[in-house]
Structures are given as structure tokens and as C-alpha cells.
Structure 1
Amino acid sequence: MWNSEDLDLDAYLGFLGYEGDRAPTLAILRDLQRAHVLHVRWDTIDSFLYKKVRLDLASLQDKLIRRGRGGYCYEHVTLFAAALEALGFRFTAVAGRVKLGADPQQSRPETHAMLIVEADGSRWLSDVGFGSSPLEPIELVDGAKSESGPWPYLLRWQEITHGSPGWAVHQRGDRPHARDGWEIRQVFTENPQYPVDFAVGNHFVASYERSPFAMRPFVQRLRTDRHDTLDALTWTTERPGAAATKETVRPHEVPKLLADVFDIRTDPEEADLLVRRLTELPEQT
């Protein structure tokens, strides 16, 4: 279903620096998720510049592996799903609604892709495409936690949208709607998603005129001791237990920042286009 026959598995695993076993076990799933989150880059540059993002494996491998560019959740999860399929894992794709920073009374579209993977007799939420993703899968049980990375996550079964039950992923936070120091990051049900569903959601995210990803570039890089983001021209660095630092950068500085901080490579033509489009953004400071 996920076109794993079109995946160069050796090239993908080589990019991750993974040289371990290739059995469909929980230990291997953990190793692969950690390696994917830390090595495959995350950005929305294609939706900002071109209003088009391709999900075929040939394009994804060329962009994310060969050219060293980043992508967002639909790209990450499509690539990861193909790899898991090639390795013999059983899994179901699901769609989430990102709630972080949103009014909890307003509905959000299902525009976040994830996987529920079966391994070692249990089911695990594998979320490799959030940018600041958990470094390990989270067991799909109420109250399960992930504490392997710089920031912890909590999974709860609860009311999620207008009285409907489902799963909510929480992260540490102190916004007004936080509960016991945890705030909701995304919610989802177990309704299965298929590549055609990802194609529909991806088209909306990449091309809809009010999609945040089509309006400005957003770039992330998670490391084991820090999380960097570039939101339009605002560069933010977060470290566990420390206050975030923010800096406004100028358009012409962005290509070098992408290379030096985010390890994202743009060719000269694309870098020039990115600088021009950033210069045209309204309300720059």
C-alpha cells in the first residue's frame, strides 16, 4: 500500500546512519524513529515557494535524502511508512488535529499525519513528522509517557472534539488551558488513513491560501539538547530548563542560517527565490 517497492531502503537507512537489525520489533522501531527524527530535516519551503509538495517516493527520496532538504509530516510519514512496510511492520496511518496554540473551542482540520504501529504485542504511536517529534514511539494506552528526549510527552484517552472521545498527545506547558502542567499538542482518532487521504490533506496544507505553511516558511530542527525554529524571519532556540532566545534575521541571511543551524541545503536558484519571497513578506521588522 505504501509503495515500499519504490524505496531504496539501503539509501534511507544509510542516511539515518542506521546499521542495526532489520526485524519488525519494538527495539528496531525505537531505533528507527529516533534516527529519523534526528536526521531527516523538517521545513515548509516548498509550500511557501511553490504551493506544491509531492508525495511520491521518488520525489521524497530525492528531496529528503539525496538533496538534504526538509519536509513536513505528510512527507516524513510517507517515507517512514514505506520503510516500515519494507521491514515487515504492521501499522495503520491516522490523521491528527494540531491544537497547540489554538482556541480549544474551535475545530482544527485533520492535517497531521502519524502511524500506529504494532510491535511486540502492543500498539505504539509513531509521530515522526511534527518537527519537534518524540524520539521514541509512545504505547497506545491511557497515561503512557515518552521521556527519552529533551522534552516529555503524555498520551491520554479523553474527550477531544465536541464531545467525541479519542487520543490527545500532551507536552509540558503553562498556557491557560494546560492541565496539571500538560497542554494538548494534537488529538486524533484511530480512523484509518490511506495514501489517497494523505494526498488530499497534503494538497490543502501546501496550496490553500490561508494555510500557514503556504503563507510563510517554517523550519525546525530537533537535537538532543535543543530545538531551533525559523518562523518567517524569527529564529528561536529552546533548551530544556532554560528560557527561549529569539532573534530577527534579515532575508539575505536565511540561506546561510538554514545551512549552518538547520543543516538544510538550498541550491543557488532556490536560495535566491527564497530571499526574494521573504523580502516581500508584509510587516517585516
Structure 2
Amino acid sequence: MTATTLLQSDFHDRAQWETSPLDLDAYLVRIDYRGSLAPTLEALRDLQRAHLEAVPFENLEIATGGEIRLDLESLQDKLVRRRRGGYCHEQNTLFGTVLDRLGFVVEGRSARILMGDAADKVTPLGHTILNVTVAGGQWLVDVGVGNVGPREPISLEEGIEARHGRWEYRLERSPLGYWLLRHRRHDGWFNLYQFSDEPYYRADFEEQNYLVSHHPASPFVRRIVAQHNGAEMRLALTDLELKVFRPGEAPELHRIDADALPQVLRERFGLVLAPEQETALLRRAKSLAEMSSEGEQLGT
């Protein structure tokens, strides 16, 4: 290997993925994956499904006064060893690193979240996604968009519709010229996000991560969030409300008592917090319950 090749390899590792410190065996145990590790489309599908089954989407580190860090050691400690979840910057950075180690050609991308907004609306960049080249084509891969995201890779082809079990997705071109990902809900097609083909790197994700985890207007600063992207049922916890989604049906809404929140997180999302974090979360949940009660009294 020449000096130039070594420098190029080192730049790629620093700029995109930190593959060398990855404990691949521990990650595979975390997601309970025993399938093929060959860089094939079938393995990519299986890995994505396994990751989504095992690792929930959540912001509880922020909600309890902690920090979100994207270096690989922090990601492995939180998502693998402590069996926690995370949001897009954490989950897709870890998953991209795993795919890179396995020999997939994987690049980062950044998307503009819409979540129902019109496709001609310019929203800020801020959602980390992955572009994987495999089986002679390029594929959108995303394990970090909560309970509404795709469970399998989606081929980057305009107008393609993909069925992941009973969940349906469509990839189009938006009026702004971006790729537009849409999800079919019980009430029709729902715009998730739009993105370009421009590569993004860990440095970009670090900046976006800092903003979304500190800005007072960020939903991850303002809310308690936990979600799960299941094969047959999907869950979305926001503060003290839990929504249950099934394909083609309107969501069920359940209100949660503040004291029951840690139990809901354990039983429905597999999330167990450290004692000091649970105490901080309960304090915040009880404050939310008090504000809600006061609002109801003022409204009567």
C-alpha cells in the first residue's frame, strides 16, 4: 500500500466512518442478527430490519440533561452496551459504520424533514440518512426516522413504490428538484423528507446534532420522545401521550400517568434508564402533567 493510498484511507475513515474501533460482534448481538454478513442487497435488508426491531428511536439523553455525542465509542456505549436508542444522527452514523466495515459502499446524506408539509416548502437540512451502492444500484437506507421510516432499502428510482410488509413508500422528485420520500398512511400519502445526491460527512452531522440537541425550538429539546418502527405495529411516545399505529388504520391514542412513564419505556420500548436519569425524567414528566392539569382548569 502506497503512502498516498494510506493518506486517502485515513481521510475517508476520519471524514466518513470510524470503522477501526467498531466492535462488530457486540453490535450483531445487540440487534440479534445471525444472518449473512456479505455485502449483498439481501443482507442489507436483513440488517436494516434487525436494527429497527432492536434499537428504538429516542431523545431521553437530552430530556434528562445529558449530551448526544457521535464519536463511535460514545455510540457503542449508548446504543450497544447500554442497549439504549437514539435519533437519526446517532443511529445512521452507527449503522453506516457497520455497513462500511462489512464492505458496503456507503455515503452519508442530509435530508430536509417535511413531516406532512408540502414538497415545495424549503425546510432546513438536519436529518441524517445513508446512500448505499449495492446490487448495481443506489439505495436509500434510513434507520433513524422514528416510527414512520422505511424498514428496508429503497432503490433511488423516480416513481418507485416499495412495500415493506404492509407499510408502503414512494420515491418521487419534488418541485424543488430533490428526491422526495413519501409514506402511505390511513389518510393518504404523507411527505416525510426530501434530499439531494450531495455527500455529507461526520463533520456535517456533528454540527446538525449540536443544533438539534441544544436549540430551544428543537422538538428534541422541548419534548420527551420515544418511537419504535415495528413490522406489524409502530409506537410513538410524545411527552405523556402514546400513539399506536397499524397499517391502514387511524392511530390509537393512550394518555400516560407521569409515574407510569418509566414502566412504559421498559415494557413498550425496551428502554431502561440509569437511576439518576429516571429520576430526572420523572421530574420532567410530573411537571408536564401539572402544566396540562393547569391548562385544563383554565380552559373550563
Same-fold status (TM-score > 0.5): yes
1:284 matched to 2:292? The reply is: yes
Q: CA deviation at 1:158?
A: 2.8
Structure 1: distance between partners of 2:184 and 2:249: 14
Q: How does 1:203-242 map to 2 (within 5 A)?
A: 203-242=210-249
Task: State how many pairs are aligned.
Answer: 276
2:152·2:164 contact (CA, 8 Å) conserved in 1?
yes
2:160 corresponds in structure 1 to 144
The AA in structure 1 aligned to 2:61 is D
Q: CA deviation at 1:25?
A: 1.2
1:209-253 deviation per Cα after TM superposition (whole angstroms, max 9, x unaligned):
110100111110122111111101111111123332112112211
Distance in 2 of aligned mates of 1:150 and 1:45: 29
8 Å CA contact 2:117, 2:191 repeated in 1: no
Aligned to 1:178: none
Conservation of the 8 A alpha-carbon contact between 2:119 and 2:180: no
Task: Check if 1:153 corresponds to 2:160.
Answer: no
CA RMSD of aligned residues (A): 1.7
Residue of structure 2 in register with 1:111 after alignment: 126
Tell me: CA distance 1:109–1:59, structure 2 relative to 1, closer, same or farther (3 Å): same
Partner of 1:72: 87
* Aligned residue in 2 for 1:41: 56
**TM-score, structure 1 normalization:** 0.92
5+ long unaligned stretches in structure 1: 176-180
1:14 to 13, 29, 38: 29
Per the TM alignment, residue 56 of structure 1 is displaced from its structure 2 partner at its CA by: 1.1
5 Å-filtered alignment, 1:119-130, equals 119-130=134-145
Question: Matches of 1:103 and 1:191 in 2, distance apart?
Answer: 22
Partner of residue 72, structure 2: 57
Conservation of the 8 A alpha-carbon contact between 2:185 and 2:248:
no
| Residue matched to 1:90 | 105
Is 1:172 matched with 2:184?
Answer: yes
Give the share of equivalent positions with the same residue, in percent.
37
Shift of 1:36: 0.9
* Aligned 8 A contact 1:51 1:206 in 2: no
Structure 1 residue 50 displacement after superposition: 2.1
| Higher helix residue share | 2
Of the candidates 40, 47, 52, which is equivalent to residue 25 of structure 1? 40
Q: Report the CA distance shift for 1:147/1:174 in structure 2 as closer, same or farther (over 3 A).
A: closer
Please report how far the alpha carbon of residue 207 of structure 1 lies from its aligned counterpart in structure 2 after TM superposition: 0.7
Report the structure number with the largest CA radius of gyration.
Answer: 2
Runs of 4+ deviating beyond 3 Å: 101-106
TM-score normalised by the chain length of structure 2: 0.87
Correspondence for 2:275:
268
Q: In the alignment, is the contact (CA less than 8 A) between 2:151 and 2:229 conserved in 1?
A: no
